[in-house]
Amino acid sequence: MANTMTLISSVNVGAGGQATISFTSIPSTYTDLKIIGSIRMANTSGDVGVYFNTAATDSSDKNVFSNGTSAASDNHSAQQSIYIAPVNTTNQTANTFSNMEMYIPNYAGSNQKSVSIDNVQENNGTAAYSTLVAGLSTKTAAISSITFYGYGGGTVSFAQYTNFYLYGIKNS
Amino acid sequence: MANPTRLEINCETGVESIIELTDAEVAQMQADAQAAEARKAEEDAAAKALANLKASAKAKLIAGKPLTAEEADTLVL
C-alpha cells in the first residue's frame, strides 16, 4: 500500500500549444507513478495516446467508454501508443478541459508495464465521454520517459493551459 | 514551414525544452492519425450496421415477418 506521494514534475502548455509533451529522466526511485492531466486539444481531433521511453509497436489497450447516451468497448493492439481517450477539443465548451488520471505500477521493474487510465470530458452539451482504459506496454526496461501525443497528425496541438502532473509513489 | 514542437521536461533538472519534431516523427504521427481515422470509420460503420440490423429485426418482429439469421443474432443473448 502506497504511503507517500511526491510531485516529481509538472508541465503547463504555453501559448501556441504543443504537438507532444514528454517527461524525461524520470527517476527510478519510486514504486509506482501517477499522472494527473487537464487536457484540451486546440482543434477538433481529441484522440490522445501515451507511450513509454521510445515509440514502438508494443502497446495494446482495452477500453470502455460512454457518452451519456450509449456505451461501448474497444481494443487496440500492436500500437505505437496506449490509447487514453477522446479528450476535450474545440468541439466542447470553450475553456473546458478533460480530467485524466493514469496509474503505472512497478514502472521501474523488469516486467511488462501495465497502466490504468480514466478520463472524463467536460462539456455543456448533450454528449461527454467517460473512458476507462487498461493498457499494456510490452517494454521490460524501466520507464524513464513518458510522452503524450494526439492522434490527429503532426499539426495537432495540446491547447494552452493543458497540464500534466507526474507523481512518484513509494510503498515504504 | 517549421514542424510542430514537443514540450519536454527533464525530471532531474526541471529544465523545460521546446524541440522541433523531426520529419520522421511528423510522418509517424500522420501515419498514426490515418490509422486512427480508418479504425474509427470501421468502428462507426460496424456500429451503424448493427443498429440497422436491430431496427430491421424489431420491425419484422412487430410485423410478424421472419427474421434473417443475422437479425436473429442481434436478439439472442
Bridge partners of residue B73, in order along the sequence:
none
For position B51, what pLDDT does the model report? 87
Residues A106-136: tens digit of each pLDDT: 999 999 999 999 999 999 988 899 999 999 9
Cβ contacts (< 8 Å) between A72 and chain B: which residues? Answer: 47
- Quick check: B36 and A9 CB within 8 A? no
State the total domains in chain B: 1
Mean pLDDT value across residues A97-110: 97
Q: Are strands A163-170 and A146-150 parallel, antiparallel or unpaired?
A: unpaired
pLDDT > 90: percent of chain B: 40
Residues A35-46: tens digit of each pLDDT: 999 999 998 888
Closest listed residue to residue A55, CA positions, set A146, A152, A165: A146
| Among A22, A49, A152, beta carbon nearest to B6 | A22
For position A74, what pLDDT does the model report? 85
Query: Which of A106-122 are b and which e, b meaning 16 or more Cβ less than 10 Å from the residue's Cβ?
Result: ebbeeeebebebebbbb
| Among B13, B21, B36, beta carbon nearest to A47 | B36
* Domain carrying residue B54: 5-73
Mean pLDDT value across residues B31-53: 81
pLDDT-derived band at A157 (thresholds 50, 70, 90) equals confident
Residues A45-55: tens digit of each pLDDT: 888 999 999 88
Instruction: Tell whether the model's pLDDT for residue B77 goes beyond 70.
Output: no
* Domain carrying residue A155: 4-170
CATH no. for residue A25? Answer: 2.60.120
Closest listed residue to residue A108, CA positions, set A6, A2, A33: A33
Instruction: Tell whether the model's pLDDT for residue A1 goes beyond 80.
Output: no
Chain B CB within 8 Å of residue A18 CB:
yes
Q: How far is B14 from chain A (nearest CA, A)?
A: 7
Alpha-carbon distance of A4 to A22, in angstroms, equals: 24
* A172 or B22, greater pLDDT: B22
Radius of gyration of chain B (CA): 24
ipTM confidence:
0.88
Average pLDDT value over all residues in chain A: 92
Q: Please indicate, yes or no, whether the overall pTM of this predicted structure exceeds 0.80.
A: yes
* A31 or B3, greater pLDDT: A31
Residues A12-42: tens digit of each pLDDT: 999 989 999 999 999 999 999 999 999 999 9
For position A124, what pLDDT does the model report? 92
For position A155, what pLDDT does the model report? 67
State the total domains in chain A: 1
B30 → chain A, closest CA residue: A153
Q: How far is A60 from chain B (nearest CA, A)?
A: 14
B1 → chain A, closest CA residue: A155
Torsion over CA of B21, B25, B30 and B34, rounded to 10 degrees?
A: -150
Alpha-carbon distance of A28 to B55, in angstroms, equals: 54
The H or E element spanning position B10 is strand B5-10
Chain B CB within 8 Å of residue A1 CB:
no
Instruction: Tell whether the model's pLDDT for residue A144 goes beyond 90.
Output: yes
Residue reference for cell 488520471: A101
